[in-house]
Amino acid sequence: MTAYWISLYREITDEAKLAAYAKLAGPALEGAGGTFLARGMPEQTYEAGETTRSVLISFDSVDAARAAHDSPAYRAALDALDGGAVRDLRIVPGV
């Protein structure tokens, strides 16, 4: 069953660290089978109205998304981020 990696950036504290993270994270997640479906700032917000960077990635399964997150390649991306952003990341199974 398809799974979705949803990442919401509550705060970006260091643009350089975020750029270093992105340079490593994209290839790491794609190499682990992820497909980026959406990434960037919202065009429209409702309800809470948070205009924060959002990323949506699909994986073949929850296990594949977990494995991508726990991989050495993605760990290197997280090391590069090193507190440069406050994020809410979740993996949600598709319906």
CB 28 within 8 A of CB 74: yes
The SS3 of residue 31 is: helix
Q: How far apart are CA 79 and CA 95, in angstroms?
A: 33
Q: What is the domain partition of the chain in residue ranges?
A: 3-93
What pLDDT digit, counting tens, does each position of 2-59 carry? 999 999 999 999 999 999 999 999 999 999 999 999 999 999 999 987 899 999 999 9
> Pick from 43, 44, 57, 55: which is nearest to 87 by CA?
55
Fold classification of 3-93 is: Alpha-Beta Plaits (3.30.70)
Q: Strands, DSSP E only, in the chain?
A: 3-12, 35-40, 54-59, 85-93
